[in-house]
Amino acid sequence: MKKVLIVFSFCILLVFTVKSQYLELEDKPSFSERIFYGGNIGLSFGYYTFISVNPIIGYRITNRLSAGIGGNYIYMSSKADNNPYSISLWGGNAFASYTIIKELEEIIPFISSKSSLLLYGEYNIMNVESYYSDLGRDEKWQVNPLLGFALQSGFGGRSYVIIKVLYNFNEYLHSLYPNPVIRVSFQI
């Protein structure tokens, strides 16, 4: 619980600091231009099946600060003879990102243009009742405060691919997100 409070306090402090430094967006975009959406999909088929769908919607608060919400759905199954299973997990998250270095290609020449380095934080909560019932545990919800860095690279217009390397401050033996948490997502 102490780790969750530290991450939450850090995010609140970051929002107030950034808000005082960057009050307006570049080029004064309209409300609809500040909204972005995207997410990621994970698939694995065969003896074990894993399907993950994670859509997001967010809002660019300033030229460096964005925040939003997302949904999470995970389906896992196994065809193992000794322990076949099929479970579905669902949940949501709230996230914020702050652009630390806006034009990364000026510092690192081999990085493509429209690349940025972000500080990324997420508060993820998942309903794990079906997952833990097989393990004999009575846990219904798993909270995962995640914090780390992301490399954002543009590939046309307002489209980006984002590679995140995050640390789960609530990792334990049966965590859904063991450290390090590495994700690749898309944003439009």
Dist. CA 183–CA 118, nearest whole Å: 14
Is residue 21 over pLDDT 50? no
Dist. CA 126–CA 26, nearest whole Å: 36
Q: How do residues 176-186 score in pLDDT, each as one tens digit? A: 889 999 999 99
| Cα separations in angstroms, 90 against 54, 76, 107, 148 | 10, 12, 40, 23
pTM of the full structure: 0.79
Residue 15 has a pLDDT of 47
Contact 169/2 with Cβ under 8 angstroms?
A: no
Contact 176/74 with Cβ under 8 angstroms?
A: yes
**Domains of the chain, earliest start first:** 2-187 (2.40.160.20)
Most confident among 5-9, 28-32, 78-82, 161-165 (mean pLDDT) = 161-165
Contact 43/76 with Cβ under 8 angstroms?
A: no
Q: How do residues 103-159 score in pLDDT, each as one tens digit? A: 888 888 777 778 999 999 999 999 987 766 666 667 789 999 999 999 999 887 788
Dist. CA 74–CA 54, nearest whole Å: 9
Q: Which of 82, 89, 76 is nearest to 130 (CA)?
A: 89
